[in-house]
Structure 1
Amino acid sequence: MKTHILITGASRGIGAAIAASFDPATTTVVAISSKDGDLNDPAVPARLWADALAALGGRIDVLINNAGVFEENSITRADAEWLASWDRTMQINLTASADLCRRAVLHWQASEASGRIVNIASRAAYRGDSPAHWHYAASKAGMVAMTKSIARAYARDGIYAFAICPGFTMTGMAEDYLASRGGDKLLADIPLGKVADPEEVAAIAKFCALDAPPSMTGAVLDVNGASYVR
């Protein structure tokens, strides 16, 4: 029986690499991109989940939350603009992911099935981020805490949760950030001397989705070239 996998944020970068890493002979993947629905709309996660369930014959085995935004939000902006940007990042990066995690857990409980959640967080969850990215770091810290809570709450039900914390990864989003802040200086802060490739993150996500032993549930895995070692 094939493993049914739902991935968000799969149009490029890490999400696309994760989707491409699965063998179609043993897995069926529904890869959701931003064109499928704006996760800033609180109603969208429910629709995406329902659509994915229908496409996968009523069964989802693995949820991979990768969708996210990384947008500057200077504290000098007007109050309303700053708050709107904060809320948008929280809704897309954390609340939409939480909504999908909730639906996944309820789905597995109702069918008395095991399942796996893989949440793509960030090094920023532990290290923090730039002065213009408080909201991004906070959203990813929330994702890590949520993953740990899910793992602790539902391990006995055969529901396992993992978080992956990349540092800079060579995607369009990270490339823009590197260019805006002097890439060479930031690279000097990475002992490995290079940012991660999306395929490196994808390899870990695939492992968590399919092969990680149950006792690993709740683990947070770093992919940052030793730029932040916990």
Structure 2
Amino acid sequence: MSVSGPHILVTGSTRGIGAAIVDVLSGRGARVAGHGRSTTGNLLGEDLGAEGAGARLWDQALARLDGRIDVLVNNAGVFEAAGVDLPDAEWEAAWARTLQINLRAAADLSRLAVRHFLDRPGGGRIINVASRAAYRGDSPAHWHYAASKAGMVAMTKSIARGFAARGVLAFAVCPGFTLTGMADDYLASRGGETLLADIPLGRVADPEEVAAAVAFLTLEAPASMTGAILDINGASYVR
């Protein structure tokens, strides 16, 4: 990475965890390209639910960051219910949308990042924001979400094992409930305080706590940590 500060692409940074990641990395001297579904302010706009969106976003980020990206942070994701009683077409559409945004787009971006890192000295890093659901599972209406995040964890490990010798490092964080709009709706729908009783820490995580872990993996984690998955769930799931 450049001594002047790494060039970083962070997906899904309009609010919550993604916005916190951009803030902490920018505050530590990184040059960050944030992303949202549409172009707003300094954000790169691309709907990751669309086919080929990952490649288009990557090209935008390269242009924004003068042709060099040192770190990719895959944070964009959706958390939408799809119960087993849905009509077949709606069920299939829900699975396709969630897997496209949460996993396929992240895979497409990771592929481009790996190729970019292999072509330049110093390699690079990929940090994937997955979920506790990758290991613990999720509600009866969120199989697709859990499956997408489990795929993200498996992808992280595969990248780490496949490219470590060539300077490409990969990590993931697995938050539990976090104070974002997406989690707030879920907490309310599942009883709020009752769910909090399942978290030994007694509260959900702040976005800044997840961002601190991402910043550590981005800027400080030793190379020997590649492949590591960090849990941030208040001990609600301990592996």
Q: Which bracket does the TM-score occupy, shorter chain normalised?
A: over 0.9
Task: Give the secondary structure class of the aligned counterpart of 1:5.
Answer: strand
Gaps of 5+ in 2: 39-44
Picking from 219, 234, 238, the partner of 1:229 is 238
Post-superposition offset of 1:105 = 0.2
Shift of 1:26: 2.4
Confirm whether residue 155 of structure 1 aligns to residue 164 of structure 2: yes
- In structure 2, distance between residues paired with 1:154 and 1:119: 16
Identity fraction in percent: 65
SS at match of 1:32: strand
- The aligned residue for residue 8 of structure 2 is 5
Equivalences for 1:20-35 in 2 at 5 Å?
Answer: 20-24=23-27, 26-35=29-38
Matches within 5 A, 1:47-66: 47-66=56-75
What is the TM-score normalised by the length of structure 1?
A: 0.98
Distance 1:23 1:163 in 2: 20
Q: Distance in 2 between matches of 1:227 and 1:140?
A: 17
| Residue of 115, 133, 137 corresponding to 1:128 | 137
Q: SS of the counterpart of 2:125?
A: strand
Residue 144 in structure 1 maps to residue 157 in structure 2? no
Other-structure match for 1:97:
106
Q: Which amino acid aligns with 2:221?
A: A
Q: Return the offset for 1:84.
A: 0.5
Letter in 2 for 1:169: T
Cα RMSD over matched residues?
Answer: 0.9
SS at match of 1:93: helix
Q: How far did residue 9 of structure 1 move?
A: 0.3
TM-score (norm 2): 0.95
Is residue 205 of structure 1 aligned with residue 214 of structure 2?
yes
Question: What is the SS of the residue equivalent to 2:18?
Answer: helix
- Asked if structure 1 preserves the Cα contact closer than 8 Å seen for 2:204 and 2:234, the reply is yes
SS at match of 2:103: helix
Deviation at 1:24, TM superposition (A): 5.0
Q: Give the secondary-structure state (helix, strand or coil) at the position aligned to 2:148.
A: helix
Stretches of 4+ aligned residues off by more than 4 angstroms = none
In the superposition, relative to structure 1, how do residues 228 and 159 fare at CA in structure 2: closer, same or farther (>3 Å)? same
Check whether the contact 2:36–2:46 (CA below 8 A) recurs between aligned residues. Answer: yes
Letter in 2 for 1:13: G
What pairs with 1:33-112 in structure 2 (closer than 5 Å)? 33-35=36-38, 36-112=45-121
**Distance verdict in 2 for CA 1:75–1:51, change over 3 Å:** same
Number of aligned residues = 230
